[in-house]
Amino acid sequence: MANISNPDLPSEAISRLLALIGQPARIQILFAIGEQEACVCHLEAVLEMRQASISQHLMVLRKANLVTSYRDGRNIFYRLTQPGVLTLLQQAAQLVGIQPEALRRLALRPVEGCPCPQCNPGMDPQLTCQKARSKSKNIS
C-alpha cells in the first residue's frame, strides 16, 4: 500500500487518495465514523455488509493513515485521523447534488437493531457486538 503522503507528483498523490477513498463502502465508513468513532459491529449494522469485508476496508483506510483504532474492553473502535477527509466527502456530495440529510443517515445513532455499545448504552458489555448479533440473527 502506497503512503498517500509520499512526496511525488501532486496530481499522483491526489489521485491515489481519491482512488483509495473512492469506493462506496469506504465512503460509507468514513461518513459513519466522521463525527463519532464506531466499532466494527456498528459499521456492520449501518453498511449492511459482512464484517470480513468491512475489516478489509478498514485495514486499507488505516494503512493510509486515514483512520485509527483503539480498544475499549472487548470492542475495537475506529475513528478518523484527519477530519479533512469528511469535509472533502461532504463537498463531493454537494457537487453531485446530495442533500446533507441524505448523509445524516450514515452518521445517525442509535441504529435500529445495532448491537454495539454506543447504540445500547445500558446493555451488558458481554452482550454487545458479536454475542448480541448472533442472538438477534437467531430470533429474526
Q: Which residues bind Zn ion (CB under 5 A)?
A: 42, 111, 114, 116, 119
Give min distance, CB of 45 to Zn ion, in A: 6
Q: How far is the CB of 27 from Zn ion (least distance, A)?
A: 19
Q: Which is nearer to Zn ion, 41 or 64 (CB)?
A: 41
HEC readout, 44-66: HHHHCCCHHHHHHHHHHHHHCCC
CB-nearer residue toward Zn ion: 40 or 111: 111
Q: Which helix (H) or strand (E) holds 69?
A: strand 67-72
Q: Could you give the 3-state DSSP secondary structure of residue 108?
A: coil
Measured from the CB atom, is 38 or 64 closer to Zn ion?
38
Residue 83 C-beta: closest distance to Zn ion, Å: 21
